[in-house]
Amino acid sequence: MCTEIVRHKSGIKWRNFYGRFKGKSLSARQHGSLHTEFEKYSLKNISWEENSKRKKIKLSEVFNEKSVWLEIGFGGGEHLVHQAKLNPDIGFIGCEPYQNGVAKLTGKLSADPCENIKLYDGDVRNIFDVLAKNSISKVFLLYPDPWPKKRHHRRRFVTQEFLAPLYETMKPGSILRIATDIEDYVRQALQEVPKAGFQWLAKDASDWRDPWQDWVSTRYEIKALKQERTPHYLTFTA
């Protein structure tokens, strides 16, 4: 008996997305900034609706030949804005499907613009589809959804479904940073990330216990510390 493959209206095999797109209702002000500011910062030709043939985008044109860093799941955007302000000669792509987080960031950008940021509000695998190999110089995965139940561990980002295409987009010698307060997430990351081709750079305990020198604590980390959970900071190279 044949099982019908569920497909997107564009014709490609459907990919499951695990996570939330929406949370609490947005205020009128948040709706306004989301509508006006997101369009200014939106990275084009990522979605299947815009780019059904999955034509590769040219980041050199988007960011005027700058090196490009990617933050996957930027939450409220605290770290993304911090890094973009700290590194004005770098182009930043922020990916966050959760509308409430995107609204928080666009509110910040409305008050304090940051010209070296581009945003995408969908599944990061759509970005991987249209990036050429060796496009990205640094990647941040900070306090990703832990999916704590064992049966949901396959939904975590640190699986080959996500890591393998991520590795293909990264330049040789580029850096992947992962921050999490979930010990089992650390375990899975240390098992799975090297399988995709990355090398863990830790030499002693301080390399995963101490934050990076250019680190800014996010609201997720502040919450973890209040609940007496220990942050871990993992650094890999492609």
Give the pLDDT confidence score for residue 118 in this predicted structure: 98
Spans of all domains in the chain: 28-237
Give the containing element (helix H, strand E) for 120: strand 117-120
pLDDT digits (tens, 9 = 90+) for 58-89: 999 999 999 999 999 998 999 999 999 999 99
Examine the pLDDT at 6 and tell me if it is beyond 70: no
Residue 134 pLDDT > 80 = yes
CB environment 80-109: b (16+ within 10 A), e (fewer): bbebbeebeebbbbbbbbbbbbbbbbbbbb
What tokens does 51 get? Answer: 């780019």
Residue 12 pLDDT level (bands cut at 50, 70, 90): low
Residue 23 has pLDDT above 90, yes or no: no
Model pLDDT for residues 27-41, shown as the tens digit of each residue: 656 565 666 778 899
Q: Does residue 182 surpass a pLDDT of 70? A: yes
Catalytic (active-site) positions: 145
Q: What is the arithmetic mean of pLDDT over 203-218?
A: 95
| Position with higher pLDDT, 113 vs 1 | 113
Please classify residue 75 by burial: count the beta carbons closer than 10 Å to its beta carbon, then call 0-12 exposed, 13-18 middle and 19+ buried: buried
CATH T-level fold of 28-237: Rossmann fold (3.40.50)
- Distances, alpha carbon 60 to alpha carbons 52, 80, 95, 119, 156, in Å: 21, 20, 18, 16, 31
CA–CA separation, 44 vs 32, rounded Å?
A: 20
